[in-house]
Structure 1
Amino acid sequence: MTQIHMDPEVLMGLQEVMEGEYPHLLDTFLDDSQKRVEALRQARDDAKALGQIAHSFKGSSGNLGAVRLARLCQRLEAESAKAQVADLGKLVDQIDHEFALVKPMYESERQRF
């Protein structure tokens, strides 16, 4: 099964609803996501903090159609809640890598406006 990085249907729906505010929404998502990735890196050894950051990042990613990023955040949130925390750093790295993949896609979408 192909992994969806950015769902264009979600973006089209947002563009219709947000109209002139759509570019601002993309800017906010990009800025906020960068900050969350940095916060995940800094919280690598704090399962509770990772879970909280992952929870909010999951929501914003899902709302903006960053499907795989949202799934990875969901996994990190779930794993951080377990009593025995394995290596959450691997999931943080995967989220970091996925954001690095989708960031130029969203920047390209932003450049259309």
Structure 2
Amino acid sequence: MNTHVDLTVLSTLRDVMETEYPALLHIFIKDSEARVTDLNGLIHHPDFSPASPTQLQTLRSMAHSFKGSSGNMGASHLAELCHQLEELVRDQSAVSGARISELVRAIHVEFNVVRDLFDVELQTTLTRH
């Protein structure tokens, strides 16, 4: 396993999904790009407030969903960062806007690494067939 993606998970997905594996990778990449855009859009919106329970619930839900899909794809560090964000905003009493921004930025950076690794995996898989 490398520090970004559990290659055993990818191998299992490749075996189980067979010819649908490239589509799975592509869908994950596109879906995750949208998730990162949505996270950034939420926290950088002029009306965003770390004191808003509604916005924090939205952020927690987004982080939870992204954590699940990342974990299912073997992107364990990305899933862990999403988990950290989810836990941070769970306790709505003392949420730091700076810490939220820091975690969303880390999620964005980690996703870029994962996307590059999955792009290589996708190209490798397509050239095998």
TM-score interval, normalised by the smaller of the two chains: over 0.9
Q: What is the RMSD of the two structures over their aligned residues, measured on CA atoms?
A: 1.4
Higher Cα Rg: structure 1 or 2? 2
Give the TM-score normalised by the residue count of structure 1: 0.94
Question: Aligned AA for 1:34?
Answer: E
Helix, strand or coil at the partner of 1:6: coil
Matched residue, 1:81: 90
Give the TM-score normalised by the residue count of structure 2: 0.83
Instruction: Please tell me whether the aligned partners of residues 69 and 99 of structure 1 are also in contact (alpha carbons under 8 angstroms).
Output: yes
Deviations along 1:43-96, whole A, 9 cap, x unmatched?
113322211111110000000000100000001011111121113111000000
Number of equivalences:
112
Distance 1:29 1:8 in 2: 16
Matched residue, 2:17: 18
Q: In the alignment, which of 90, 101, 109 is matched to residue 113 of structure 2? A: 101
Please list every run of 5 or more consecutive structure 1 residues that lacks an aligned counterpart in the other structure.
Answer: none
Of all paired residues, the percent bearing the same amino acid is 42
Please list every run of 5 or more consecutive structure 2 residues that lacks an aligned counterpart in the other structure.
Answer: 49-54
